[in-house]
Amino acid sequence: MEWGNAAGWVAAFIAFLAVNASTIQWLLKRRDEQRQRDSSRVDDIEKQLVELRVNLPLEYVRREDWIRFSGTLDAKLDAMREEVREQIAEVKERLYAGRN
């Protein structure tokens, strides 16, 4: 083998290593950029989750609280209905008292 051929093979091998090294460097840089984007997305999601946890009690009612509230409201409406019925009965008695 001649020195010219050996030098050609060495140059090809070095070029091959350089291409692979630059490809690996590009892949690592791309992976780091992707990791940074993912990290910022995770930070945004965590921030939104914290905001949701803060706002959730202000905007939504627990099932037990709603049941208790609706029970109280129904009882008050029933009491009002009974009072109105009693008053209507009294008015009817006064209206029709002289007709019997």
The tens digit of pLDDT for each residue in 54-86 reads: 988 887 888 888 999 999 999 999 999 999 999
In which band, very low, low, confident or very high, does the pLDDT at 48 lie, cut at 50, 70 and 90?
Answer: very high
Q: How far apart are CA 18 and CA 50, in angstroms?
A: 47
Chain centre to alpha carbon of residue 17: 48
Q: Are 94 and 86 in contact (CB under 8 A)?
A: no
* Residues 72/78/79/83 CA torsion (nearest 10 deg): 160
For residues 83 and 76, give the distance between their C-alpha atoms in angstroms, rounded to a whole number.
11
| Confidence bin at 100 (pLDDT 50/70/90) | low
Residue 87 pLDDT > 60: yes
Residue 96 has pLDDT above 90, yes or no: no
